[in-house]
Amino acid sequence: MPAAPTDRPGAASTHARRPAANPWAVELRELGRRPGSMQELDRTIPAPADWRLELIGVPEGAPVHLRLRLESVMEGVLVSGDVEVPVEGQCARCLDPVEDTLELDVQELFAYPGSTTEATSEEDEVRLVEGERIDLEPMVRDTVVLALPLSPTCTEDCAGLCAGCGQRVDDLPADHSHELVDPRWAGLAGRFTTGAVADRPGDPEEN
């Protein structure tokens, strides 16, 4: 009998559908302030634009997957769990594209304003509960950006680019070389190089 109204999946949450709500904000009403109470949070949020270093970063809009546990403690809310985020960039040695997924552990206390933790910490060292909510974005951003490599590489032992011709050394045959060009081929090789970096021993035109 189709008497009962059909449940629409995804429409159950009451405050998640408010327009323009910050997706990184977590309301603490459900958790409450009783120490020991706990709440699980599993949420995927599109990455903001500025999570990056020079050579690598999180593409804007990429899915940031949070699997967190919120625990009410005396001083505030303890947030722990892991963050999974895709990163894209460029190999610092050969400039090839680099793709990876970072899985990072997080653990952080969001202190209540007026708590001992807040009073005894430097202002910029402590994250605070704001009203009845916490904002996860600065914590996750700091964790992700700190984990980004300054010099990402496509493989652990990427050999970079050939100083003579600018090609990836790993793509070149093992005997690739510019010093030992057979004199009989030197003229031919010269025609195929761009000139500036060509090393032509024995060229009579050379100063």
- Closer Cβ to Zn ion, 96 or 118, answer by number: 96
Closest contact distance (angstroms) between CB of 118 and Zn ion is 46
User: Contacting Zn ion (CB under 5 A), which of 26, 109, 134, 154?
Assistant: 154
According to the binding rule CB under 5 A, does residue 161 interact with Zn ion? no
- Of 5-13, 25-33, 146-154, 188-196, which part binds Zn ion (CB under 5 A)? 146-154
According to the binding rule CB under 5 A, does residue 162 interact with Zn ion? yes
Using DSSP bridges, classify how beta strands 76-90 and 56-57 pair: parallel, antiparallel or unpaired: antiparallel
Q: State the Cα angle at 184 between 181 and 187, rounded to 5°.
A: 80
What are 11's two structure tokens?
A: 């429409």
User: Contacting Zn ion (CB under 5 A), which of 58, 140, 158, 181?
Assistant: 158
Note the Cα 84 to chain centre separation in Å.
9
User: Contacting Zn ion (CB under 5 A), which of 81, 86, 149, 164?
Assistant: 164
Q: Contacts with Zn ion: how many residues (CB under 5 A)?
A: 9
Closest contact distance (angstroms) between CB of 201 and Zn ion is 15
Closest contact distance (angstroms) between CB of 53 and Zn ion is 17
From residue 55 to residue 94, the character string flagging contacts with Zn ion as x (rule: CB under 5 A) and all else as - is ------------------------------------x-xx
Residues contributing to the site for Zn ion (CB under 5 A): 91, 93-94, 96, 154, 158, 162, 164-165
